[in-house]
């Protein structure tokens, strides 16, 4: 019989450091890609849900008597189990606001986008085409008034908060009093380096541009 011993075998203990580092880099790159892709998908899904929630809130508001509702009943209507299917349809996922405090920013966003008006601090109304009540419009602005309103517009355009209160109304006033200067301001902010400022300008332009 042939005999053998462990001494007859030789094990290569060295590891090619270059191959090892390449392997580690590939694994780390894959993990980072997976993390980034998952984060992007979640953010997109969340934004779609929020946009769908806004559309559903407007649906409830349009269907309300007089197209107006108090904020608390609107919140309760949206959150109710009876409307779970509608939330799923509009939001593409199971969605509820975490609390009334998380619901309020959505209302301010609708107001900022010109979809609703506040009748009181707690009641809103669906914004339809503005009716003409020219008979009571007696204010005659001066040059100083125009300068002040344009300055307020610039200040609100650069406000760090997501939805500066009163910006759409101030922009409309500025466009009526100083259309050329207001247009210049919007164009400048549309080319701004800050994405939030650019989106703000784009939404205002959408409201103020003449329909073909």
Q: Which of 26-40, 167-181, 189-203 has the lowest mean pLDDT?
A: 26-40
The residue ranges of every structural domain in the chain are 49-133, 140-208
This prediction has a pTM of 0.50
Q: Do 93 and 101 contact (CB within 8 A), yes or no?
A: no
Phi first, then psi, for residue 67 (nearest 5°) are: 50, 40
pLDDT at residue 163, rounded to an integer: 82
Residue 40 has pLDDT above 70, yes or no: no
* Per-residue pLDDT at 114: 84
User: Which CATH code is given to the segment(s) 49-133?
Assistant: 1.10.10
Per-residue pLDDT at 112: 85
The mean of the pLDDT values for the chain is 82
Q: Is the confidence at residue 42, as pLDDT, over 70? A: no
Q: What angle do CA 119, 123, 129 make, to 5 degrees?
A: 50
Dist. CA 196–CA 192, nearest whole Å: 9
Distances (CA, A) of 4 to 9, 11, 41: 9, 16, 60
């Amino acid at each position: 019989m042939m005999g053998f011993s462990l001494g007859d075998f030789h094990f290569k203990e060295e590891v090619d450091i270059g191959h090892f580092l390449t392997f580690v880099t590939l694994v780390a790159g894959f993990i980072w890609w997976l993390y980034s892709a998952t984060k992007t998908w979640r953010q997109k899904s969340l934004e779609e849900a929020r946009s769908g929630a806004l559309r559903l809130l407007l649906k409830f508001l349009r269907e309300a008597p007089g197209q107006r509702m108090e904020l608390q009943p609107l919140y309760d209507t949206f959150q109710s189990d009876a409307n779970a299917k509608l939330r799923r349809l509009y939001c593409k996922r199971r969605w509820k606001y975490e609390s009334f405090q998380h619901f309020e920013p959505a209302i301010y966003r609708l107001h900022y986008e010109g979809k609703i008006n506040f009748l009181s601090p707690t009641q809103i109304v669906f914004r339809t085409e503005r009716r003409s009540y020219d008979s009571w419009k007696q204010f005659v602005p001066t040059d100083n008034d125009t300068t002040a309103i344009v300055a307020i517009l610039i200040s609100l355009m650069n406000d760090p908060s997501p939805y500066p209160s009163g910006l759409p109304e101030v922009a409309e006033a500025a466009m009526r009093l100083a259309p050329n200067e207001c247009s210049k301001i919007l164009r400048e902010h549309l080319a701004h380096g800050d994405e939030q400022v650019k989106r703000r300008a784009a939404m205002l332009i959408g409201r103020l541009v003449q329909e073909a």
